[in-house]
Amino acid sequence: NGAAPAAGKEQRLIVVSNRLPVTISKDAQGVYHFKMSSGGLVSALSGCKKTMKFTWIGWPGKEIPEEDRELVNRRLMDEYDCYPVYLADDLADRHYNGFSNSILWPLFHYHPGEMNFDAANWLAYREANMRFADVVAGMVQAGDMVWVQDYHLMLLPMLLRSVISGEGSQGEMVRRELGRVKKGVDKEVVGGMMGMKEEGVATALGVGEEGEDEGVEILDEVAEEGTTSAPAPAVPKKVKRPAFGRGMSQFQKQEAVAKEKGKDGVRIGFFLHTPFPSSEIYRILPVRREILLGVLQCDLIGFHTYDYARHFLSSCTRILGLETMPNGIEHEGRYTQVGTFPIGIDPMQFVDGIREEGIVKRLQALKARFKGCKVIIGVDRLDYIKGVPQKLQSLEIFLSQHPEWVGKVVLVQLAIPSRQDVEEYQNLRACVNELVGRINGRFGTVEFMPIHYLHKSVPIDELTAMYALADACLVTSTRDGMNLVSYEYISSQVDGHGVMILSEFAGAAQSLNGSLIVNPWDLQSTADAIHTALTMTEEAKKSNWEKLFAYVSKYTAEAWGVSFVNELTRLSGHPPSGPSI
């Protein structure tokens, strides 16, 4: 299967992410503002865009009234090569803040305590995914590749397959259900969606329909007992594998209908930019089955690290009872390959950047400003996963244990505002403000402040100059999918060979050999690493930096994008015959 595009026709790539490289806002005067978005996903895909050709579909950050859409759409297309999925502001709020960033984000980063499950937000998550599916289905053609990004869109692969292959079956069913839900709270549906009435969920998701599912037997005892408090079974009791060639699998049926519509052979890939947690954490999620089933309609699922891929596979075994192979899963007659694709950056942007006249001048000015002082840089979205409080406390310990450094070292901490409508982010902001005030009050003088704290987004040239200035970069994430700030710092240190201090809980720690690796929860170990970084010999710094730069230059954003897309091109929905990635 896997219909190739017609002869002479280009195989198209459609990338779908919640965040677009540009975010639109509207001021009190009704004027629209287009601002570059920040974050690892945008940095990496923008890096790919330099050499790869794709259409980028996503949410522009704001609901736009019908009458303004033509203008806004044209600007998005012409200036940013993007296509918008509009969501009503309330729906977007529930999807983005309410479910994606209040449920999946904390859970995937091992913060279940920050999780606030609300059934209405889950419904909004589904509805937003359905809107994306409608837009993508309208654009997709036979043989296209659709590459879905990140945790905001984990139901999209399943919904997209439904829409393009079965308006009369699953697509209609999902639509009908969403329609019902919008009219009022349907207890049965909401209960089912929360995992309390699994039969309802299985139907809503188009699995387990009579005569349709020759696949696995659902093994989740939690669901069968109608409670969410019992533990999931440790090992599946019984696994019935779908047989290729025996009758028609769900996959084959979908392809047959899609073929009639000229939309067959569409390959769908998914990449998760966050960690995928251990199944012991993942299983806390009330809608754990639905999310897994949503992405299992892909041909290829990618993660930053081997551990995240392994956690995903073991969640599929423990929660869905599916038998997995080291590199993939068979489900409903479809083979989904699972692999590791470590993301990267465009290092030349920084290597060349530090030679640009404007940045060189800015760097000179900063050097003069911090003369006689070592500079440590921290760049984080102000997010509780970034471990900013731990970073500040470690600096405090360092300064108290090494008073000879007071007045001779500063931490420049850039905290990029992020997800400010979510309560946990507001609490974090207050906590960080207090810590900065306390430490500056304790060690500062009229002439000197140990922490220069900026809670704002800074232009990329300013960021590059800061990276180039700093003698060390300090990343203390308590969990982080990869962390591209570390890559950017290394790429900006061609001259200085600055020291990278990196949390062992960032995906980057598995690749960036040559960093000083710390456990951010062990404040003393970070304080010691700060001392080591500030006192390291030039030879040791250079030798570490060379190793780091060799890695960052090889595993770029482009290499990441190309390897994922090449693998997706190769796949056809059946298990590969030879060894895979």
Residues that bind ligand ADP (CB under 6 A): 36, 38-40, 43, 379, 381, 416, 457-458, 463, 482-485, 488
| Helix boundaries (H) for 109-155 | 119-139
Per DSSP, 243 falls in state P
Taking CB under 6 A as the rule, does residue 315 contact ligand F6P?
no
CB of 419 to ligand ADP, least distance (A): 11
Helix, strand, coil shares of the chain, percent, nearest 5, are 50, 15, 35
Given ligand ADP, ligand F6P, none, residue 36, with its beta carbon under 5 to 8 Å by kind, binds: ligand ADP
Q: Which residue matches tokens 């998005």? A: 76
Taking CB under 6 A as the rule, does residue 289 contact ligand F6P?
no
Per DSSP, 99 falls in state I
Given ligand F6P, ligand ADP, none, residue 483, with its beta carbon under 5 to 8 Å by kind, binds: ligand ADP
Indicate the residue among 42 and 130 with the shorter CB distance to ligand F6P.
42
The residue within the footprint of ligand F6P, chosen from 3, 26, 32, 39 (CB under 6 A), is: 39
Residues 6 to 35: which contact ligand F6P by CB under 6 A?
A: 19
Indicate the residue among 170 and 413 with the shorter CB distance to ligand ADP.
413
Taking CB under 6 A as the rule, does residue 304 contact ligand F6P?
no
Taking CB under 6 A as the rule, does residue 288 contact ligand F6P?
no
Indicate the residue among 354 and 482 with the shorter CB distance to ligand ADP.
482
CB of 503 to ligand ADP, least distance (A): 11
Taking CB under 6 A as the rule, does residue 40 contact ligand F6P?
yes
Strands 328-331 and 82-84: unpaired
Given ligand F6P, ligand ADP, none, residue 293, with its beta carbon under 5 to 8 Å by kind, binds: none
Taking CB under 6 A as the rule, does residue 42 contact ligand F6P?
yes
Given ligand ADP, ligand F6P, none, residue 419, with its beta carbon under 5 to 8 Å by kind, binds: ligand F6P
Taking CB under 6 A as the rule, does residue 393 contact ligand F6P?
no
**Which residues partner with 380 through β-bridges?**
415
Helix/strand/coil for 413: strand
For residue 386, give Cα distances in angstroms to 92, 515, 541: 25, 17, 25
| Cβ atoms of 164 and 266 closer than 8 Å | yes
| Helix (H) or strand (E) run with residue 301 in it | strand 300-303
Using CB atoms within 10 Å of the CB of residue 55, give its burial: 0 to 12 exposed, 13 to 18 middle, 19+ buried. Answer: middle
CB of 40 to ligand F6P, least distance (A): 4
Residues 226 to 285: which contact ligand F6P by CB under 6 A?
A: 273-274
Integer Cα distance of 487 and 502 in angstroms: 11
The residue within the footprint of ligand F6P, chosen from 127, 144, 150, 567 (CB under 6 A), is: 150
Angle, in degrees to the nearest 10, between helices 388-401 and 423-443: 10
In this chain, which residue has its C-beta nearest to ligand F6P?
39
Helix/strand/coil for 290: helix
Q: Which residue matches tokens 């040791």? A: 540
Given ligand ADP, ligand F6P, none, residue 150, with its beta carbon under 5 to 8 Å by kind, binds: ligand F6P
Indicate the residue among 150 and 558 with the shorter CB distance to ligand F6P.
150
Angle, in degrees to the nearest 10, between helices 156-165 and 119-139: 50
In this chain, which residue has its C-beta nearest to ligand ADP?
40
Integer Cα distance of 256 and 250 in angstroms: 10
| Footprint on this chain of ligand F6P (rule: CB under 6 A) | 19, 39-42, 150, 273-274, 418-419, 481
